[in-house]
């Protein structure tokens, strides 16, 4: 059974940093792209970042480029999102999701999300 489980969310002050993790199981992790998608309270889905199966190619939304870094550890079946210089507008539930193929950036399995609150 495919599972993705996010962790690492919490309360952080503006300007602070947070590292999200996503533990994956039930599939050959290195063969699939992975992504982070966020949802601010009462708002729609916002794509944040994605990474290819090998980790060699990364993509970012303009709103997080230069502040967030996506990485993956294929030996540990884990995806990370390092978030620096956090702003109030980064407050959201962050979802980890599995790409349907190594180079496909639509997402067939989603975690339940981890909440991030940026506030003083």
User: Does residue 36 bind other proteins (CB under 8 A)?
Assistant: no
Taking CB under 8 A as the rule, which mask of x and - marks residues 64-93 in contact with other proteins? ------------------------------
User: Quick check: 48 and 94 in contact, CB under 8 A?
Assistant: yes
7, 23, 30, 61: which one contacts other proteins (CB under 8 A)? 61
DSSP string, 7-20: E--EEE-TT--EEE
User: Quick check: 116 and 94 in contact, CB under 8 A?
Assistant: yes
Closer to other proteins at the Cβ: 13 or 112? 112
- Cα-based distances in Å from 119 to 16, 17, 59, 81, 87: 10, 12, 27, 19, 8
| Residue position matching structure tokens 């967030």 | 68
Query: Which part of the chain contacts other proteins (CB under 8 A), choosing from 13-21, 23-31, 57-65, 76-84?
Result: 57-65
User: Does residue 45 bind other proteins (CB under 8 A)?
Assistant: yes
Provide the binding-site residues for other proteins, judged by CB under 8 A.
35, 37, 44-47, 50, 59-62, 95, 97, 100, 104-108, 110-113
């Amino acid at each position: 059974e495919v599972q993705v489980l996010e962790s690492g969310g919490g309360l952080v002050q503006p300007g602070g940093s947070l590292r999200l993790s996503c533990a994956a199981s039930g599939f050959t992790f290195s063969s699939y792209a992975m992504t982070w998608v966020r949802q601010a309270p009462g708002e729609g889905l916002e794509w944040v970042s994605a990474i290819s199966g090998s980790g060699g190619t990364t993509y970012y939304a303009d709103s997080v480029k230069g502040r967030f870094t996506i990485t993956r550890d294929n030996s540990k079946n884990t995806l990370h999102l390092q978030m620096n210089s956090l702003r109030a507008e980064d407050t959201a539930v962050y979802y980890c999701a599995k790409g349907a193929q190594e180079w496909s950036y639509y997402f067939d399995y989603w975690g339940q999300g981890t909440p991030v609150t940026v506030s003083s």
